[in-house]
Amino acid sequence: MLENTLQAGFSQETLTTMNDPRIRKDENGYYIMSLSENSKVYFEDFYRFMEMTYNRATEERNRLNEKIAQTGDQHLETLSYYRARGVVIDLLIRTIKRFYADNSNFGIIMTPWCFGTVVLEKIEVYKERISRGEVEDANIVDYPYYVVKYIEEIYKTTLLEMFDFPDSAFQMRWQYSELLKKYSKILTNITGSLNSVLSMIKNYNR
């Protein structure tokens, strides 16, 4: 549970009542074969990782708030660094909350490194949107150029720190990205086929 209020989407109580062939159980608990990697991921391990990362991220957010409050406006570069780090931390916190509470999509259950890759790519997209002026972010007060510059410099190391990953963690990102694209394409093709079948049925019944 996050902050003693946000319940895990697929809690142990929920899993015991679900009759889904994708959910399996062994001596270590309930698990699923992840869509992105086809590897065994235990639900409890996934949520424990999310909770630990969330705690580190919220502690860092509080530390940044103190640092920003103690730094004068004349220290533009320092403030830009803190705010850039805040962009990364805030997006990480939002993503963890969304994945943690999701109770409708087994695709969110994945290994820590795969989740790290998902967040990494979210930040890269978000950074580009900030640079184009498409996003209003509370961390971007003045001079977004400097904040975006620092995001580019620090987002990978910041995530490695928050996830407690080794430097090699994101070297696997291309494999995860390709797998996610592959499954996305498969799902798109399935949806297209189903729509075609439904269209044929409707035409037949006319």
Q: What is the pLDDT of residue 161?
A: 95
CB atoms within 10 A of CB 51: 17
What percent helix, strand, coil does the chain show, rounded to 5? 70, 5, 25
Q: What is the model's pLDDT at position 100?
A: 95
User: pLDDT tens, 67-106?
Assistant: 999 998 889 899 999 999 999 999 999 999 999 999 988 8
CB 117 within 8 A of CB 176: yes
**Where exactly are the structural domains of the chain?**
12-200
pLDDT given at position 93: 96
pLDDT at 14 over 80: yes
Q: Closest by alpha carbon to 122, among 90, 168, 169, 153? A: 90
User: How many C-beta atoms surround the C-beta of residue 27 within 10 A?
Assistant: 4
* 8 Å CB contact between 127 and 148: yes
Q: Are 33 and 40 in contact (CB under 8 A)?
A: yes
HSE-CB of 118 using CA atoms within 13 angstroms: 19
Average pLDDT, integer, range 127-152 = 87
Q: What is the pLDDT of residue 170?
A: 79
Q: Spell out the SS3 assignment of 28-85.
A: CEEEEECCCCCCEEEHHHHHHHHHHHHHHHHHHHHHHHHHHHHCCCCCHHHHHHHHHH
| Residue that has been written with the tokens 């961390």 in this structure | 139
